[in-house]
Amino acid sequence: MRKYWNSFTDVIFKTPMATHTVKDDHEKQQQDSHVGSKDENIDRGNWTNKKEYMLSMIGYAVGLGNVWRFPYLAYKNGGGAFLIPYVIMLAVAGIPLFFLESSFGQFCSQGPVNVWRALPIFQGVGVAMVLVSTLVGIYYNVIIAYSLYYMFASFQSPLPWSDCFYWSNSNCSLTPREVCNITPAANWSEPVFAANMTLWENETCPKENIIRIPVQSPSEQYWDLVALQRSSGLDETGPVVWHLALCLLLGWLLIAAALYRGIKSSGKVVYFTATFPYVVLLILLIRGVTLEGARDGIGFYIGSQSNLTKLGEAEVWRDAATQIFYSLSIAWGGVTALSSYNKFHNNVFKDALTVCLTNCGTSVFAGFAIFSILGHMAHVYGKPVSEVAQAGFGLAFIAYPDALSKLPISPLWSILFFFMLLTLGLDSQFAGIEVISTCLQDAFPDTFKSKRSIISVGTCAILFLLGLLCVTQAGIYWVTLMDQFCAGFVLLIAALLELVGVVYFYGGNRFIKDIEMMIGTRSSLFWLWWRACWFFITPAVITVILVWSLLTFRPPSYGTVQYPAWGVALGWCMIAFCLIWIPLVAVWKILCAQGNPWQRMCAVCSPVEGWGPYLEVHRGERYAGGQRYYRKNSLHLPDNVYHISNNFTRL
């Protein structure tokens, strides 16, 4: 245990990293299943080819939010007009952050924790990212379990949520229920139910006297009573819902199998999981536009109902920035982890631009497929599209399944839709678990270097056990709680600190020179935009989103169910658990440094000895010999602290 503890502290609390050289040891490569014979980095391995990296990145960035959140936001915020702030926020926040993170990971070939050997005082930011990915991984796979369950339930005709079957209660109805609130006459009965506005003896109830009785659709009751077996609130945990637990287990088995050999195996899986959703979306779009009412749905989404006056509302811009930020999976650690397996001279700029544009294009494309069928559903029910359009769980597991049940051969469309959700979720989970595996491998390189399968299987097993709470009868409340707190403030704070650390402490100009070591020298005009974003625009955008989110914070709720005070407090504790490592690691680094307080601060605010490209062949003159560099003109230090010993933080 002492050996493992020392290895862990080497990553979190120890500053140096040995300079690595290229080795030609084919026998060693064969022992390490995650390393290929053509890899330039035989310690960590590389992507087999560029396609696998790009598909993995696209699969990571394109997730469930592209299908169940963006279309609703576009409809809600002015339709086609919403694309204006959306594209602007992509340019000033999304692409700059994605480019920064992928460049950071590729330059040093390290995960989200070890990259901060460039700036030890900020290494807690990497720890926070790993913890967020862990917590998100717990509940995100529960959503995959929901998709698996619905996919399996779709193998029957008629679909079980197409009508009020034996599992429903008296509040289930396919049509609205109304009563006529009038004084009964001799030929009236009380109460009087108005079906299609007609009462017996051909009497018609005046519109002002009609009272609508709240009812639930079959798809809504199936979701609550059958799939979730939902309890009354977070206080009532209830037993484990075993069909969801088995689907959760299956989901983790799929992920463990795909990650058995790390990126070497997951890179093969993404050939299918990253491309299949586009096939399904295209099929659904073609089917949707042929349905009656599809024009109305698309019109509400992004067509004739576009409202340019919405651009004057600040909330529209906030929604656009938030959607860009979360849909690109920024500050989760996954972008850094996946790019760390690139070859050093890979064109990271071109890749970042391609992934970001593909992600946003997918969001727009998915909206047409979703709203064309929702328009048909509104036509069947005789309702406006605004009454059937939903976001999140309401869209994926209530509104859209209901719409699909109205189509001919409805089981086929339902199977395709939920299989698409499954593949979208799996891609994102691959990268999330890769974050954990990469950091563990960096922490214990000698122990886990040839045991990648143990890391993957062990991580999946532990997260499966932790996720069982989310498949109890109160599971949906836990999923909603974790989603609102874990995937919110922590990511904004981590992204802001990441920018501040790289640009203002490490040095934005130095970071640009690091990137040019990988992609070649670029003109000052090329870097003008990125400097403007990294130094000023992007930090300002994140700060505004963070402050606004805090000021407009509302306690979480699920439908009409409010969370108890202890549940909200627990959510804030999750945030604190992730963020507390940022000051703790910073303080520890300062305490372990030598010298007076000023010298200690200078030491932890500068790269450690050995920082730079992972392989000696790529270090060049700037990082030759693995010596420690300070930014020119940023610090004025005495000669005796210019080179700092590499053992002053050993426990």
Please determine, for residue 624, whether its predicted confidence score (pLDDT) is greater than 70. Answer: yes
Predicted confidence band at 198 (pLDDT cuts at 50, 70, 90)? very low
C-beta contacts of 67-70 below 8 A and 24+ residues apart: 67/366, 67/370, 67/396, 67/420, 67/421, 67/424, 68/370, 68/391, 68/392, 68/393, 68/395, 68/396, 69/323, 69/327, 69/391, 69/392, 70/323, 70/327, 70/363, 70/364, 70/366, 70/367
Please determine, for residue 647, whether its predicted confidence score (pLDDT) is greater than 60. Answer: no
Burial class (CB in 10 A: 0-12, 13-18, 19+), 124: buried
Contacts of 102 (CB under 8 A, 6+ apart): 57, 335, 336, 338, 339, 348, 351, 352
Q: End-to-end CA distance of the chain, in Å?
A: 14
The rounded distance, in Å, linking the Cα atoms of 487 and 428 is 14
Rounded mean pLDDT, 402-430 = 91
Please check if 66 is assigned to a binding site. Answer: yes
Please check if 427 is assigned to a binding site. Answer: yes
Q: How many residues does the chain have?
A: 651
Enter the pTM of the model.
0.85
The tokens describing 383, both together, are 């309702």
**Mean pLDDT for the chain?**
82
- Give the per-residue pLDDT at 393: 80
Rounded mean pLDDT, 472-498 = 90
Please check if 62 is assigned to a binding site. Answer: yes
Please check if 640 is assigned to a binding site. Answer: no
pLDDT in tens, 221-235: 999 999 999 998 899
Rounded mean pLDDT, 393-421 = 88
Q: Classify 50-164+224-590 by CATH class.
A: mainly alpha
- Give the per-residue pLDDT at 649: 30
The rounded distance, in Å, linking the Cα atoms of 444 and 14 is 13
| Of 119-128, 214-223, 253-262, the least confident | 214-223
Preceding amide of 613 cis, omega within 30:
no
Predicted confidence band at 182 (pLDDT cuts at 50, 70, 90)? low
Per-domain residue ranges of the chain: 50-164+224-590, 177-213
- HSE-up (13 A, CA, CB side) for residue 463: 29
pLDDT in tens, 41-94: 788 888 889 999 999 999 998 888 888 888 878 877 777 788 888 999 999 999
Distances (CA, A) of 504 to 392, 499, 535, 634: 38, 8, 8, 10
Please determine, for residue 352, whether its predicted confidence score (pLDDT) is greater than 90. Answer: yes
Please check if 171 is assigned to a binding site. Answer: no
| Of 26-30, 103-107, 352-356, the least confident | 26-30
| Of 94-108, 162-176, 192-206, 361-375, the least confident | 192-206
Please determine, for residue 186, whether its predicted confidence score (pLDDT) is greater than 70. Answer: no
Please check if 424 is assigned to a binding site. Answer: yes
Q: Which residue has the higher pLDDT, 154 or 484?
A: 154
Predicted confidence band at 203 (pLDDT cuts at 50, 70, 90)? low
Distances (CA, A) of 507 to 96, 385, 510, 598: 16, 51, 5, 19
b (16+ CB within 10 A) / e for 155-180: eeeebbbbebeeebeeebbeebebbb
Predicted confidence band at 484 (pLDDT cuts at 50, 70, 90)? confident
- Give the per-residue pLDDT at 576: 94
Contacts of 81 (CB under 8 A, 6+ apart): 306, 307, 308, 310, 311
pLDDT in tens, 31-46: 455 666 677 878 888 8
